Amino acid sequence: MKIALVGATGLVGGVMRKVLEERGFGNCTFLPAASERSIGKKIDFAGREYVMMSVEDAIAAVPDIAIFSAGSGPSLKYAPMFAEKGTVVVDNSSAWRSDPNIPLVVPEINGDVIKATDKIIANPNCSTIQMVMALCPLHKRYGIRRLVISTYQSVTGTGMKAVNQLMKERVGEPCEKAYPHQIDMNLFPHGGTFEDNGYTTEEIKLVNETRKILRDNDIQITATVARVPVTGGHSEAVNVELNEDFTLEEVYDLLNRMPGLVVQDDPEHNIYPMPMWAQGRDEVFVGRIRRDFSQPKTLNLWVVGDNLRKGAATNAVQIAELVRDRFLK
């Protein structure tokens, strides 16, 4: 089996290499590709050294699967070229997520939507992935009427330049800025770019992608995204108004039975999800589970996940596993 990784040298690309090794892709023919400035560089994968190739050379090699983590521009340009060769593309950018003809997949929730004819599959936004992992069992049982979401997003979601800014500011050294403001000892309600309606692209993704993955366009959703000086993962406060009433005992049971979701909820002993505990883990963590007493049929959740693992690399590799096991064996 041949597998290409486009954007293999980036922050997420590095985690993707690690996850591919961990999940049994180490014996595949590996085709690492990146932009022109990275061609010829050497990287390690599964105990071997590889030389970075051009995306055009990776296309010519006709891999079975190509995982993209190179941004929307390269995805829009090159993903169709891979698809024309018969390669299945798993794309981690926002390029294809809103396309009604492209599956947007979290395998534990809607992996069944992938068909043999699908040659481009979109990996959702990191914040969306971890949130719908907690929402899916609740939506199946009660139906979700409305979501009010506040996210507290790690600088790793912006990339290595943002991580460097945080670390340099922390020790008082000059640095190239990824953000318009200082991030150390600060936070700002700004993720993505601002649209004419006052919302950011990151906030709009949470609305559109949640509806698409849960297959319900009637869910009412509003979101506010904040960037925080954290490297371990994203955190989210989610207020969930349901169509039917619930008992907390049943909610705990539903969440405990969701694959890939871990309940951490023991306030008496100060146990609740935190990025420092989620970092490096594939699971999504949920806690602070409590009834909203201001209105009926409403629940509050606190959801945390490593945005580089389940929020990006792991989910993409899980999609690749589905494709391999369902269509390539």
List the chain domain ranges: 2-124+312-327, 127-307
What's the pTM? 0.97
Is 136 among the catalytic positions?
no
User: What are the angstrom distances between the C-alpha of 142 and each of 208, 297, 303?
Assistant: 20, 9, 19
Amino acid identity, residue 270?
N
Q: What percent of the chain has pLDDT over 70?
A: 100
Q: Is the pLDDT of residue 200 over 80?
A: yes
- 2-124+312-327 CATH pick, 3.10.620.30, 3.40.50.720, 1.20.1250.20, 3.40.50.150: 3.40.50.720
Residue partners of 164: CB distance under 8 A and separation at least 6: 175, 176, 178
Is 126 among the catalytic positions?
yes
pLDDT (tens digit, 9 = 90+) per residue, 139-174?
Answer: 999 999 999 999 999 999 999 999 999 999 999 999
From the candidates 28, 126, 136, 139, which is the catalytic residue?
126
pLDDT (tens digit, 9 = 90+) per residue, 72-94?
Answer: 999 999 999 999 999 999 999 99
Query: In this structure, what token pair is assigned to residue 180?
Result: 């318009």
Strand stretches in the chain, DSSP E: 2-6, 29-33, 42-45, 48-51, 65-68, 88-91, 120-122, 144-153, 220-227, 234-242, 261-263, 284-291, 298-305
pLDDT at 42: 95
Confidence of residue 36 (pLDDT cuts 50, 70, 90): confident
Q: Is the pLDDT of residue 112 over 90?
A: yes
pLDDT at 290: 98
From the candidates 136, 175, 234, 269, which is the catalytic residue?
234
Torsion over CA: 115, 118, 123, 125 (sign): negative
Confidence of residue 245 (pLDDT cuts 50, 70, 90): very high
End-to-end CA distance of the chain: 10
pLDDT at 60: 98
Mean pLDDT of the chain: 97
pLDDT at 38: 87
As to burial, measured by CB atoms within 10 angstroms (0-12 exposed, 13-18 middle, 19+ buried), residue 198 is exposed
pLDDT at 321: 98
Q: What is the mean pLDDT of residues 84-111?
A: 98
Confidence of residue 106 (pLDDT cuts 50, 70, 90): very high
Q: What is the mean pLDDT of residues 32-48?
A: 92
Confidence of residue 62 (pLDDT cuts 50, 70, 90): very high
Torsion over CA: 202, 203, 205, 210 (sign): positive
The CATH T-level fold of domain 127-307 is Dihydrodipicolinate Reductase; domain 2 (3.30.360)
